[in-house]
Copies of this chain bind each other. A is one copy, B any other.
Amino acid sequence: MNPPAQTLPAFADVLAAAARIAPYAHATPVLHSRSIDALVGAQVRFKAEHLQRAGAFKFRGACNAVWSLTDEQAARGVVTHSSGNHGAALALAARTRGIACHVVVPEGAVKSKLAAIEAAGATLHHCAPTIAAREAACAALQRDTGAVLVHPYTDARVIAGQGTAALELINQCDGALDVLLVPVGGGGLASGTALVARAQPQPMRVFLAEPAGAAETAASLAAGHRVTAFVPDTICDGLRGTLGEPNFALLGAPDVEALVVDDAETVAAMRLLWARLKQVVEPSSATVLAALLRYRERFAGLRVGAVLSGGNVDLDAIAGLFGNTRP
């Protein structure tokens, strides 16, 4: 029933994930705003994944991975490396099954995020702030504890779990959507969404919102191969990861298109979401509205399903951002 972690998932895996996580994940609401629709010139339905448990869609994939394990696997716990939403999501998912969770975090990670991971009951393991150090620390933990690695976005169980957000959104809209729009970082949410979009009676086009400071997905889709040489420079801390291999394999097709937005556009869009939807969303979430506004001719008159990916922001850092976009 469960795809191995390194196999490409299929739509059936998304359906299985939806049933598997239903007892633990929230069915988040769908929100809309007349004034935002008027600004965009389209009918936008926002999937409120910032209201998901642990404050981001990441709980879906983490929860699917944790509950896909056999009892024997589960008894040894799970491990990942993440200083952000995936770490907290995996920690909470592990708690729903009562199993151990190890999270490798780089020195210098944001304290409030680490506190969230620990509050969910995981054990933190600090390492140097390099990819090599993180992977080495994960490998050591796997070796020492037998814990199962749950990668933030290349894991097939994670991709299938993230796809449930789009599945739920489409169902909540009675299928009455023309296109889907999600942020893209490592590509877990994006590739899961593509699986769902292609399985619809009328397949939907998938748009990916990507910050200009980490636009390697746009570059990869344009080049026809994964572009991985880039140094992320964006306020969207959830979108700094590099598009994964299985993610690229699922996304590299003509029905998927990346739309690049500047951070300034993202901040202005975030301000709109706070003011009009009254929702506290993080910058990564706001990229979807930024893309709707910048590329509005692409969406004119369409029914758009857009995922607000998370709401974990540093409230103290926000006003400085808003101050720069005062109308």
Contacts and interface: CB of A to CB of B under 8 A. Distances in A.
A322 B314 CA distance: 11
Nearest to A273: B280
B323 A316 contact: yes
A1 interface: no
A274 interface: yes
Contacts of A234: none
| Stoichiometry, copies per complex | 2
B275 A278 contact: no
For A29, A274, A278, A322, which residue has the most chain B Cβ atoms within 10 angstroms?
A278
B315 A274 contact: yes
A278 B29 CA distance: 13
Nearest to A52: B278
A289 to B, nearest CB: 15
A319 interface: yes
Contacts of A320: 319
A143 to B, nearest CB: 35
B322 A316 contact: yes
Interface residues of A, number: 20
Q: From DSSP, what is the main secondary structure of chain A's interface residues? A: helix
A190 B274 CA distance: 27
Nearest to A34: B53
A302 interface: no
A51 B278 contact: yes
A326 B1 CA distance: 48
A311 interface: yes
Interface string A285-327: 0000000000000000000000000010001101110110010
A284 B326 CA distance: 24
Contacts of A275: 280, 315
Interface of A: 29, 50-51, 55, 271, 274-275, 278-281, 311, 315-316, 318-320, 322-323, 326
The 8 tightest CB contacts between A and B, nearest first, are A319-B319, A278-B311, A278-B280, A50-B278, A274-B280, A315-B322, A316-B322, A316-B326
Given A278-B280, A319-B323, 19 more contacts: A29-B29, A50-B278, A274-B280, A274-B315, A275-B280, A278-B279, A278-B281, A279-B280, A280-B280, A315-B319, A315-B322, A316-B319, A316-B322, A316-B323, A316-B326, A318-B319, A319-B319, A319-B320, A319-B322
